[in-house]
Copies of this chain bind each other. A is one copy, B any other.
Amino acid sequence: MGELLGVAVLGAGHMGADHIRRLDRVVSGARVAAVADPDPGRAKEAVAGVEAVTVHAEAQAALDAPGVDAVLIASPGPAHEEALLAAFARGLPVLCEKPMVPESAGALRVVEAEARLGRRLAQIGFMRRYDAEYRQLKSLLDSGRLGRPLMLHCVHRNVSSVPGFTSAMLVDSSVVHEIDAARWLLGQEPAAVTVLRPRPSASAPAGLLDPQFVLFETEGGALVDVEVFVNCGFGYQVRCEAVCEAGSARIGEDRAMVVTAEGGARAEVPQDYLVRFADAYDRQVQAWVDATRQGRVTGPSAWDGYAASAVAEAGVRALESGARVTVGLADRPELYGGAGG
């Protein structure tokens, strides 16, 4: 391949710094050309050792920096809409961390802007689509070998929630991953959502409704249930079982070295999504770099980003109301395949 892809990274926090490291030292074919962060000290720290990179306080200045061919948005969610529109204005391909835009209204504006452009520029950071096990499951479902999928049973557990994590965030920050995964695996849009609230765990911070049990019904009549439990205490677990007409398939079982000692056989559970999905993050960025260098846009689209936000918003209303809430999506522009899943 030819020239390295020059990437402007917006945001130099935890996730941004990790992407800078990944672009500089892990993936092939890219280099970090510019970094923007309102905190210049943080940005400088994140680019230590990176050559030929410029540092900026403003996102737009980074987009205009020399050698920038593409943008990776890792700034806080509220800054995404403006950054995406600025990238669109410059014709720059974008990889945007999720949530694409926190409010579905803003997300829809991004979809409409890209639709007006008439070509795709944005890929959204739903990295599970790049996980080896999820891809195996997707491939199996698409093969039709197990017949039509009827149910997805999902589990999403974290050791503990960060301070400030709210009951709504279990839906729109955590379950949003299952929303995208289910839409992708099933090729169907969610039509209604219900959230059940067991009595909270004593390990959850006071006032946090944790765990929750979230149910999606899709347009095609499939059912998706998600246990989300962000203070489970023991590890990071993401499991998914697809129950189909002719069999079921499970991914995300704990897999590791088995140590037999002290009366038991034990496998460690990863403590962190960066461990569980380390390869998926790498593959996602490598796939984006490869496609971008070839002038293509692949991966989850702005429509996927919008749909996930809209469904999550319905989920939060279902959580608050205790009732079943129907999901109303905007019409899907032609750019994203038109009406339907």
Contact = CB atoms under 8 A, between A and B. Distances in A.
A253 interface: yes
Contact of A202 (B24, B148, B254): B148
Contacts of A326: none
Interface stretch (A35-43, A114-122, A225-233): A225-233
A27 B28 contact: yes
Contacts of A263: 234-235, 268-269, 271
Contact of A196 (B1, B215, B267): B215
Contacts of A256: 133, 136
A171 B290 CA distance: 40
B151 A211 contact: yes
Interface stretch (A9-17, A69-77, A216-224): A216-224
Interface string A246-276: 1111110111111111111111110100000
A82 interface: no
B279 A260 contact: no
A268 to B, nearest CB: 5
Given A51-B2, A223-B213, A261 B243 contact: no
B213 A151 contact: yes
A253 B153 CA distance: 15
Contacts of A261: 145-146, 233-234, 246-248
Interface residues of A, number: 73
A245 B201 CA distance: 5
A255 B257 contact: no
Contacts of A221: 198-199
A1 to B, nearest CB: 6
Copies in the complex: 4
Nearest to A224: B198
A247 B268 contact: no
Contacts of A237: 260
Given A1-B50, A258-B253, A198 B222 contact: yes
A25 B28 contact: yes
A183 B131 CA distance: 33
A237 B261 CA distance: 12
A160 interface: no
Nearest to A262: B234
Contacts of A28: 24-28
A147 interface: yes
Given A25-B29, A196-B217, A198-B221, A249 B259 contact: yes
22 contacts: A25-B29, A26-B28, A27-B28, A148-B199, A151-B211, A196-B217, A198-B217, A198-B222, A213-B225, A233-B262, A234-B248, A234-B262, A234-B263, A248-B260, A249-B258, A249-B260, A250-B257, A253-B258, A263-B268, A265-B266, A265-B268, A266-B266
Return the 7 tightest CB-CB contacts between A and B, nearest first.
A247-B261, A199-B221, A198-B223, A255-B255, A266-B266, A254-B265, A201-B245
Given A150-B211, A233-B247, 9 more contacts: A151-B213, A211-B243, A227-B243, A234-B247, A234-B260, A234-B263, A237-B260, A247-B259, A264-B266
